[in-house]
Amino acid sequence: MIEVKDLKKSFGDTQILKGITTAFEKGKTNLVIGQSGSGKTVFLKCLLGLFEYESGSISYEGKNFTKLSRDEKTNLRSEMGMVFQGSALFDSMTIAENVMFPLRMFTKQSKSEMEDRVDEVLKRVNLDDAHNKMPSEASGGMQKRVAIARAIVNRPKYLFCDEPNSGLDPKTAIVIDNLIQEITEEFNITTVINTHDMNSVMEIGEKIVFLKNGLLEWEGSSETIFRTDNEAVTSFVYSSELFRKVRKMYLEESE
Amino acid sequence: MTYLHNIGTYFIMIKDIFRRPTKWSVMKPLILKDIDDLIIGSLGIVAFISFFVGGVVAIQTSLNMTSPLMPKSLVGFATRQSIILEFAPTFISIIMAGKVGSFITSSIGTMRVTEQIDALEVMGINAINYLVFPKFIALTLYPFVISIAMFLGILGGLMACVYGGYGTMEDYIEGVQLDFIPFHFFYAFIKTFVFAFLLATIPSYYGYFMKGGALEVGKASTTSFVWTSVMIILVNFLLTSLLLG
């Protein structure tokens, strides 16, 4: 479980996060949504320890991140997996080498053990014939799946994804969403996803946190988001005609 | 204030190069790859430039020796001194600031832009050690490149002198051996080691701490070349004053 209390972060005179308090439960797919500039990416990078924050706290299983020693932070980070918006694959390595990289860095496994684990994970993301391809030879959807494979290869406790569906066609986006949700349940990990994609919100949002101007405006689930009358949420989530119709149908059916 | 901040960040980066080292099994191939990219990959251009500049130095010296009282062996002497003291360590280092420095800045800068450095940091890896240390170690072989530049520069001078009709081989070789001071080699290699350190760290700094997108990678490479060259010239002046002054 990840607990965030009164998190504040500024760049110069501009305050990006203005005191966010929330919690992300283990084994659940947690979504952070909001308009561009609402502070989602900064929030995620604070969770990952890539940005230092001015005040507040972030605790992983009760351990305050900022109070950890350097070695403890390194150990904690080795329990995190991250899927970046642009996949962030190492372009000098093949797909198999990219996936093997965390194992080479953090484990003492033999080469054959590492290769077996890479095979297993690539199979899990349906990429069992892509071992020797370079990232530049893979499509956007494949790169995202490789990034997911790299993120989970070391059996992390926490999985973070920054807009995993950006730049993907709707069908591939659903494949990626479902894959993340299955992996979350299968390995019982805490997953936090930053997204703009309303399909993801409806499909896999077990917990949804809505940020607006650096503040937590609303939190709920993919079910309660249909019933909320919070204007900021409804104007963002139901900005398209399609989603307004989906909401109307949902509400009619539930009555 | 920005300059002071940059200098401070640069020295913190240097400290971080040696902190939390990456596993040797991972580091070893990175070092070998950087030796191939930075040292072996530079030999061709260094050999070409050294050979022909050595030839030009010999021709220029010969053409400017108008007095018949000057011995012909002076061509070899002047070429040797120019090549060993300045051309090979300093001029080649400035060329390397363009070739190797731009390569280092753009490769690390591209990793920054494409979030590959963030990916390393999220994994708990000391990205500065992972990226800069192999380049630092690879460039400890830089004196090898400079030795080749020295040899080929003097050889180029010999070829130009003999085949251009500016003097005999015996005169040139006599000049090369004339008043040889071993400390000059020592001085040249001290400079080379210091320049190697600058070549590894300044371009890495500009790549690692760059902000922005693809356009900024190009700008960072240019800035890195300018500052590496400026620092080489300044350090050259300082070391020459200290060691030969």
CB-based contact (8 Å) between B26 and chain A?
yes
Residue A231 contacts B, CB cutoff 8 Å: no
pLDDT for A136: 92
Sort out which chain B residues have CB atoms less than 8 A from A73's CB and list them. 124
| Tokens standing for residue B40 | 């072996």
Q: What is the pLDDT of residue A221?
A: 85
- B123 inside 8 A of chain A by CB: yes
Counted domains in chain A: 1
Position B44, amino acid: G
Would you kindly state where each structural domain of chain B is located, as residue ranges?
Answer: 23-243
CATH code for position A153: 3.40.50.300
The top-scoring range by mean pLDDT among A63-72, A101-110, A119-128, B82-91 is B82-91
Average pLDDT, chain A: 87
Indicate the SS3 state at residue A220: strand
Residue A248 belongs to a domain? no
Give me the sign of the Cα torsion angle B152, B158, B163, B169: negative
CB proximity A122 to B under 8 Å: no
Q: Higher pLDDT residue, A107 or B8?
A: B8
C-alpha closest to that of B121 among B214, B219, B22, B221: B22
CA–CA distance, A162 with B103 (Å, rounded to integer): 30
Compute the average pLDDT of residues A174-179.
85
- pLDDT digit string (tens) for A199-233? 888 888 889 999 998 899 999 888 888 888 888 88
Whether the complex's predicted ipTM surpasses the cut of 0.95: no
Q: Residue B228 is encoded by which pair of tokens? A: 């590496």
Q: Scanning every residue of chain B, which has its alpha carbon at the shortest distance from the alpha carbon of A111?
A: B25
Instruction: Identify which of B20, B118, B124 has the shortest CB distance to residue A84.
Output: B118
A192 is in which domain, residue-wise?
2-222
Q: How far is A7 from chain B (nearest CA, A)?
A: 20
Inside any domain, residue A136: yes
In a domain, A237, yes or no: no
Question: Which pLDDT tens digit goes with each residue over B90-100?
Answer: 999 999 999 99
- Strand pairing report for A63-64 and A215-220: unpaired
Angle at A35 between CA A215 and CA A168, to 5 degrees: 135
Max alpha carbon distance in chain A (Å)?
A: 59
Q: Tell the residue number behind the tokens 């760290």, with chain if given.
A: B201
Question: Contact, A197 vs A203, CB < 8 A?
Answer: no
Q: Is B28 on the interface with A (CB under 8 A)?
A: no
Q: Give A32's pLDDT tier (boundaries 50, 70, 90).
A: very high
**Considering only CB atoms, which chain A residues are within 8 Å of B25?**
104
In a domain, residue A250? The reply is no
Q: Which of B22, B116, B123 sits opposite A77 (nearest CB)?
A: B123
Distance from CA of A167 to the nearest CA of B (A): 15
Confidence category of residue B138, pLDDT binned at 50, 70, 90: very high
Nearest CB partner across the interface for B114, out of A48, A88, A105: A88
A228 in a structural domain: no
Q: By the CB < 8 Å criterion, does A76 face chain B?
A: yes
* Residue whose entry in the numeric block shows the structure tokens 């993120």: A151
The rounded distance, in Å, linking the Cα atoms of B245 and B239 is 9
How would you list the strands of the sheet with A14-24, edge to edge?
A: A14-24, A2-11, A55-60, A63-64
